[in-house]
Amino acid sequence: MSNDFQLRKATPSDAAAIQGLIVELAIFEKEPDAVKTSIEDYATGLEEKRFDAILAVDIDDHILGMAFFYTTFSTWSGKALYLEDFIVREEYRGKGIGKLLFEAYLEEAKNCGAKLAKWQVLDWNELGKSFYRKYNTEVHLGWENWLIRM
């Protein structure tokens, strides 16, 4: 499979495809109407370096999957890289793309000097949890996610 795709960094011209992946992920997560970001939001965010993404693309540059992340800071540990969204299009799953994307994200965390690589998994996503357990992960149970929509 490694000859059928390659990894590359996202550019602002990938904004529409990124939004499409995010919508696909929202549908998978049973929140089909939750995505409020625009294509312009993604293009601007990439231009301003607010976030980054590693894309898996085929030989025709069609996007097969993505690791979408940004730098944050842990008051207990220091610099962290937060994996906001991680998706491989359904028809390309099971081909090693997710493994290479995730490992590229971890390498990015090491290369930027992050002390932590962080992400969340929905409690019902057993396939996702099984995937992450293959790595040296820690699960911090007991924390609830709180937010205010502005």
Whether pLDDT at 1 is above 80: no
What is the overall mean pLDDT for the chain? Answer: 94
Q: What local confidence, expressed as pLDDT, does residue 144 receive?
A: 84
What does the pLDDT look like over 50-60, one tens digit per residue? 999 999 999 99
Which amino acid is residue 84, in one-letter code?
E
Query: For the residues 6-13, what does the mean pLDDT come to?
Result: 98
In the numeric block, which tokens belong to residue 36?
Answer: 């409020």
User: Catalytic residue positions?
Assistant: 132
Query: For the residues 36-43, what does the mean pLDDT come to?
Result: 97
What is the H or E stretch that residue 129 is in? helix 126-132
Q: Using CA atoms, how far apart are residues 88 and 24, in angstroms rounded to an integer?
A: 10
Q: What is the pTM of this model?
A: 0.93
3-class secondary structure, 59: coil
What structural domains and CATH numbers belong to the chain?
5-132 (3.40.630.30)
Over pLDDT 90: what percentage of the chain? Answer: 89
